[in-house]
Amino acid sequence: MALITANWNPMGEAFYRKTELYEMSWNLRDGLKDCLMAAAPYGGPIALLREPLRRSPSCRPQLEIYSASGVAIASFPWKSGPVIQLGWTVSDELLCIQEDGSVLIYDLFGSFKRHFSMGQSKLSEVDTKVRMPPKQMVWCRRPKSQQPSVVMVWDHLLLVAGVCNDIIQFPLDSRCVCVGELDGVRIISSINQELLQEVPVVCQDIFKIASMAPGALLLEAHREYEKSSQKADEYLREIKEQGMLAEAVRQCVEAAGHEYDSNTQKSLLRAASFGKCFLTDFSPEHFVATCRELRVLNAVRECSVGLPLTHTQFKQMTLQVLIDRLVYRQFYQLAIEICRYLKIPDFQGVSRVLKHWAACKVQQKELSDEAIARAVCLKVGDSLGVSYSHIAAKAFECGRTELAIKLLDSEARSGEQVPLLLKMKRSQLALSKAVESGDTDLVYMVVTHLKNEMNRGDFFMTLRNQPVALSLYRQFCKLQEQETLRDLYNQDDDHQELANYYVATSYREKRLDSRLSHLQSAVDEYNKAKNEFASKATEDEMRLLRFQKKLDDEKGAGLMGLSLQATMETLLMLGLYKQTDQLYRDFKVPDKRYWWLKLKSLAEKEEWEELEKFSKSKKSPIGYLAFVEVCIKKNNKYEAKKYISRVTPEQKVKAHLAVGDLEGAADAAIERRNEAEISAVLARCSASDRLLTDRLNRAKLSTAKK
């Protein structure tokens, strides 16, 4: 443990330390000589361009991209113009600035993304800066720094100069490049990579020789405890007497975060855990979080991953960004494990990783559609927030339509499937997906699309195979395109609907002959549909229209548009009995209704003689109570009484009552020994009809007895 301070260099009140991060995995033959180099902060990737100014077409400079630990990610010959500067954007995109001021942008894997141009003037400024001695100057700082400094690099010397005029010097074996970080400077040479930083105060407190800080004592206590030495108790007691145990634990936890070496982390955390046992109400969150985060950090610091992030940097960049970076570097498995380990909600965690993974997977040219689709579905399953249509769109972008369609099959949201299918010109499939979704608006959208895209015949055929879509299109046509509606029914040989269509259109015609011709078409279609009733009814309608027209022309009867019944009514009112009879016979009007009609009409006109004649023309199909009642309605008791004798026994009481003949009603009711009828008559009797009342009551009594 004493070794921890071995690489500490004092500067003013503070210490600076240089820790090795990696032995670089790369193998650079000529070191970093004649190279343009750019390394992204936050342990980002490194770009190298050898001999950037070489212009011979036969031998082009090579652009290489490495992880921070020197693992090769991409390498390709530089074919564009001479590059004078390299740089990284915050989203890990490589900027290559050319002499002419144009900037080419590549992704981490060396794929060209886009380019833009910038003015020359700015460039020359950058240019002069680079050529200034010393070779490089970088701020070395950290949050809450005690002693911010500048790092200067020469060919064989690295010098740290603080505000306090103190300096630290490190000799250099080979050329190196410095990268300013949030909390230090990374020094990259061809052989290794180191982190130079001001030692955080909490680490100083703990590890400074002979430190009496609570954390230092706790660390010591734990060490003694591990040795089963009673000194552990003494140290502990000392901390507790100062009331600093909680502070000691906090220091150990915090210091662990700042240490790069996992053994140091462990001993600090163990000490913290040990101290925690003697505290009653200590909230464990900070401890647990640090343990988890360190575990994640150690994993990403692995050489194979090569993200040498400090805890401070990690906190600054956030977990979300770390996951993004891992995804961007295609460390999907690790990213997923981290998400699961830190229990990030799927929506922000695993699903997001899977989405990127799948988008990348579909671009793997060597795999078959089948294999990719299977792999994607297996992994993605129905994870929330992973949109199959998004993945499919990616596949389509890469020209893999079949794969896209396979993937879309797994998309649960039809709203998402349909537009892409249309874009891929799979209209039929889009239509069936839209139908499946139940979202009629979606179906309409596809139908409209198909209508514009196909010729009419194909369009109709397509609809024919999709009854739901066809129905919806019909609804559309009913409102918007009546003519098309007819064509649709025609194509389907739907004679019944076609006939209905003609009936409906006939009403829109202003002229009789065109109305009749529509109705004739309807008759034909009803016949084809074997709907005998409807065809007959429509023929009747035509006959009625012709009849109305004729009478309107001849007599100005104003019949047009009336129903058959209303027509007969009008004719009767006009006294055109012969014509009424003609209609009655021609249209086979049921006797009952005809009798009612004639009865009411004659009564209305008070043609009592005609009415009596009519009543005797044959046996009334509606009985004779109706005759009594219409007469009464016209206040003609005299006429009403004429019909009473012909009323059936069942209705007789009612008939007598209708004309106000209580005696007659009583006679009829008593004769029929019907209690209800007797009561009905009684109800109409007034106090003055005492004799009648008595008679009825007696009859009622005797009926009830039986």
Q: Give the interface with other proteins as residue ranges (CB under 8 A).
A: 346-347, 351, 382-385, 412-413, 437-442, 444-445, 448, 467-468, 471-472, 474-476, 479-480, 496, 500, 503-504, 507-512, 515, 533-534, 537-538, 540-541, 544, 560-565, 587, 589-590, 592-593, 596-597, 622
Is the CB of residue 195 less than 8 Å from the CB of residue 184? yes
- Nearer to other proteins among residue 226 and residue 552 (C-beta): 552
Kindly state the smallest distance separating residue 499's Cβ from other proteins, in Å.
Answer: 9
Contact in structure between 73 and 49 (CB atoms under 8 Å): no
| Smallest distance, other proteins to C-beta of residue 227, A | 48
Distance CA 59, CA 99 (A): 19
Nearest C-alpha neighbor of 206 from the set 360, 19, 4: 4
For other proteins, give the closer residue by CB, 238 or 497. Answer: 497
**Closest CB to other proteins among 92 and 346?**
346
Cβ 633 to other proteins, closest distance in Å? 12
Smallest distance from the beta carbon of 465 to other proteins, in angstroms?
15
Of residues 219 and 434, the one with the C-beta less far from other proteins: 434
C-alpha dist (Å) from residue 414 to 379, 387, 433, 441, 485:
21, 11, 6, 12, 28
Phi, psi (rounded to 5 degrees) for 47? -115, 140
**Residue (26 or 476) nearer to other proteins, CB:** 476
DSSP H helices, 381-413, are: 388-397, 401-408
Query: Is 273 or 440 the residue whose CB approaches other proteins more closely?
Result: 440
Q: Residue 71 has which token pair?
A: 């693992």
Distance CA 675, CA 677 (A): 5
Please report, in angstroms and rounded to a whole number, the separation of the first and last CA atoms in the chain.
123
* Nearest distance in Å: CB 346, other proteins: 6
Sheet with 83-88, strands from edge to edge, namely: 83-88, 94-98, 102-106, 112-117
Q: For other proteins, which is the closer residue by CB, 206 or 529?
A: 529
Count of Cβ atoms closer than 10 Å to residue 130 Cβ:
11
- Return the closest-CA partner of residue 88 out of 127, 44, 33, 51: 44
Nearer CB in complex with other proteins: 81/590: 590
Neighbours of 296 (CB within 10 A): 20
Residue 343 beta carbon to other proteins: minimum distance, rounded to whole angstroms = 15
To other proteins, the closest distance from the beta carbon of 588 in angstroms equals 8
**C-alpha torsion angle, residues 491, 492, 496, 501 (rounded to 10):** -40
Residue 384 Cβ vs other proteins, minimum distance, rounded to whole Å? 2
CB of 439 to other proteins, least distance (A): 6
Q: Which is nearer to other proteins, 18 or 598 (CB)?
A: 598
- Give long-range contacts, CB 8 A cutoff, 24+ apart: 590-594: 591/621, 592/621, 592/622, 593/565, 594/568
